Amino acid sequence: MTKLLTGLTVLLLAAPALAISNLTVTLSAPSGLAVYQAGTYGVTVLNNGKKSAPGSKVVINLPATSTSPTVHVLGQLSGIASGCTLSGTVLTCQLGTILKGASVTKTFTLAGAYSSAPMVISATASTTIAEKTLADNSASRTLALATIATAVVTGVEVAHEHCTAASIGARPLRGR
């Protein structure tokens, strides 16, 4: 009788461990964009586990300027999906409960600026309960924006729109 109760106890304790959530993140990005050309990016969080994932959210790290002391998103951000808030260069999207087998997608539009350093967008999802694995909770994309060579002729006034700091606008320059 003791063996039967021990076996039943192990079975009952092990059963909930089998029913867990498993969030997977994918990040879609447009191709063929040039510097300052807007594109819509999507972050999809799929729960391919066996249990709903309550309190889910995704944190998206956007490319950052090298400005000091304040850092901004490197480019022009717009079209942020509902349920998402921006703090600095981090976009946090509340997803609520993701049912087993269901997914939620959040989008944003970014017109990336020129950068000599790699411009990376990364996203990491989390939930308030245990998951099968955390290895697939993150995704990232390195932006490959095309540049357009522009010749500047001496003595011609041009507008330079390279700086992305929030309080600095385009300034006329004189080619020399």
Domains of the chain with bracketed CATH: 18-174 (2.60.40.1510)
- pLDDT recorded at residue 79: 95
Using only C-alpha atoms, the chain has a radius of gyration, in whole angstroms, of: 23
* More confident position, 68 or 30: 30
Torsion on CA atoms 59, 63, 64, 65, rounded to nearest 10? -160
pLDDT in tens, 125-144: 999 999 989 999 999 999 88
Mean pLDDT estimate for the chain = 83
pLDDT in tens, 89-120: 999 999 999 999 999 999 999 999 888 888 99
pLDDT in tens, 11-43: 444 444 557 999 999 999 998 899 999 999 999
- Asked if 62 and 73 touch (Cβ cutoff 8 Å), the reply is yes
Tell me the pLDDT band of 8, cut-offs 50, 70 and 90: very low
- pLDDT recorded at residue 162: 52
Q: For the chain, what's the residue count? A: 176
- Rounded Cα distance between 173 and 25, Å, is 44
Query: What tokens does 135 get?
Result: 């290895």
* Phi/psi at 11 (5° precision): -60, -45
Tell me the pLDDT band of 157, cut-offs 50, 70 and 90: confident
Query: What tokens does 165 get?
Result: 């700091």
Tell me the pLDDT band of 161, cut-offs 50, 70 and 90: low
Question: Which residues, including other chains, have CB under 8 Å from residue 99's CB and lie 6 or more apart?
Answer: 47, 52
Nearest to 98 by CA among 128, 122, 75, 64: 128
Q: Is 127 helix (H, G, I), strand (E, B) or coil?
A: coil
